[in-house]
């Protein structure tokens, strides 16, 4: 069976493992190679950990699906939460920046692993990160 879409709630540490494993399965079934599977799963792990660490209740959601654009096929992942939001996005995207005792490579690292990344964040409302990777 080909899995092309999945939706996983992220709750606590188990959610980090569940979402990255799911992302890997979907990436594999969409025909991504081993290196891209690793990049995609790791990017999801970073984003899921941000939610567990920063979102007010440690909860969020993760949606993964196949996307097509100008003849290319790819994978799109949306990770969202209703947490505090990101106060300074430019700062959050800088290597080495951290507000929670991590290594500060969550967002910048994730961007390097993926082809596209968009962050929408509203203070007090939440954050939504969309990442895409195109199949070569």
Partner 1 sequence: MVANAMPQKIILTGMVPEVARAPIIRIGSTLIVTVLEDLHDRDALDLQTELLQKLEEAGSTGVLLDLSVVEIVDSFLGRMLNDIAVGVRLLGAQMVVAGIQPAVAITLVELGLELRGIRTAINADRGLVLLDRLVRQSDKAFRNSRADARPTGAGGVRGHH
**Residues of this chain, 116-135, that bind partner 1 according to CB under 8 A:** none
Q: Which of residues 26-85 bind partner 1 (CB under 8 A)?
A: 34-35, 37-39, 41-42, 45-46, 49
Q: How many residues does the chain have?
A: 136
* Site membership for partner 1, residue 103 (CB under 8 A): yes
Task: Output phi, psi for 55, to 5 deg.
Answer: -65, 145
Question: Look-up: residue for tokens 């567990």?
Answer: 52
Look at residues 75, 4, 1 and name the one whose alpha carbon lies nearest to residue 41. Answer: 75
Parallel/antiparallel/unpaired status of strands 72-81 and 116-122: unpaired
Our CB check for partner 1 shows the closer of 88 and 95 to be 95
- Minimal distance in Å, beta carbon 68 to partner 1? 25
* 41, 24 Cβ separation under 8 angstroms: yes
Which residues of this chain interact with partner 1, rule CB under 8 A?
13-14, 16-17, 20-21, 24, 34-35, 37-39, 41-42, 45-46, 49, 95, 102-103, 105-106, 108-109, 112-113
């Amino acid at each position: 069976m080909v899995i092309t879409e999945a939706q996983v709630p992220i709750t606590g540490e188990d959610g980090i493992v569940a979402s990255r494993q799911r992302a890997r399965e979907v990436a594999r079934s969409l025909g991504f190679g081993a290196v891209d599977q690793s990049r995609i799963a790791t990017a999801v792990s970073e984003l899921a950990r941000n939610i567990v660490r920063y979102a007010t209740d440690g909860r969020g959601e993760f949606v993964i699906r196949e996307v097509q654009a100008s003849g290319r096929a790819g994978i799109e992942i949306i990770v969202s939460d209703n947490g505090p939001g990101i106060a300074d996005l430019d700062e959050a995207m800088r290597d080495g920046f951290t507000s929670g005792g991590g290594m500060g490579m969550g967002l910048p690292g994730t961007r390097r692993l993926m082809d596209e990344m968009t962050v929408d964040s509203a203070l007090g409302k939440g954050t939504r990160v969309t990442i895409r990777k195109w199949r070569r």
